[in-house]
Amino acid sequence: MATSMPAAFIGHGSPMNTLEQNRFTESWRRLGEAVPRPRAVLVVSAHWYTNATVVTAMEEPRTIHDFYGFPEELFAFEYPAPGDPDVADLVVETVQPRWVGQDRDSWGLDHGTWSVLAHLFPDADVPVVQLSINAVQPLEYHVDIGARLAPLLDEGVLVLGSGNVVHNLRRIDWSTPDAGVDWNRRFDAAALAVLQDEPGDVLRLVEHPDYQQAVPTPDHFIPLLYFAGLASARGASIDPWTEGYSYGSLSMASYVTGVEAPSATQDDEGSGHAPGTDAPPEQSNI
């Protein structure tokens, strides 16, 4: 029988976290050590934001370098984890009657996935599938799909959401790589309170006075909805795994359910530092 798995939401921040060692990437490494070895990992990444709900179903997903203005070392990085068409089939079956298509040759693994998994499973020896974010569906839809994914944990599938609770690239301040402005901190605290109180009510955050600044576009916020829906369906408690901020307007918060969170470490170096660039931050695809 498969070992029941935990689930997590990871604030992934800059793609440079792939190459750097800091307190966030160290926490991702510890998560990989804390969980049982999964049959596969299912990732809902902010960076596969499209017009349908689709799961990758290829044997060998490619590494997608979906960003701009970063060092060549990052563009050369490969994460050659295998896919798992059987797990893709299982995802399709599990969320019925919701429809999920299968992508056998188009997508792969984007940096919202491999920048985190490079630390969780650095040997790239655990199969990975991605589930797209359907941009034409309302927020309630994503909470519901997350809840429907909950049985996958009992099939040995580790479910990860990868985004950022707060993600406003137009308000980035490159001079404050490890800081968060006041509205960032307020919304981040509100998210933690809702997740620990009643994750099924996560959409209460839409009414928060700082929501428009914290979530000017929904792509990085929606992976949190999948995680909250899943935890609610399991009746499981949620714990913070990491806390912190980046560039004033990003939250690096991560949460887990079903695995004991480590003691917080606040004194180490912060998140991956993006290189200086003349391009506007919103064109970097962080």
Domain 7-283 is found in CATH 3.30.70.980? no
Q: How much is the pLDDT for 286?
A: 86
**What is the tens place of the pLDDT at every residue in 115-150?**
999 999 999 999 999 999 999 999 999 999 999 999
Residue spans per domain, the chain: 7-283
**pTM given for the model:** 0.95
**What is the tens place of the pLDDT at every residue in 180-207?**
999 999 999 999 999 999 999 999 999 9
What is the pLDDT averaged over residues 238-242?
A: 96
What integer best gives the mean pLDDT of the chain?
94
Residue 278's pLDDT band (cuts 50, 70, 90) = low
d(CA 61, CA 87): 14
Amino acid at residue number 187: F
Q: Are 165 and 191 in contact (CB under 8 A)?
A: yes
* CB-based burial label for 19 (10 Å; 0-12, 13-18, 19+): middle
- Determine how many CB atoms are found less than 10 A away from the CB of residue 265: 13
Q: How far is CA 149 from CA 23, 91, 217, 228, in A?
A: 30, 7, 24, 11
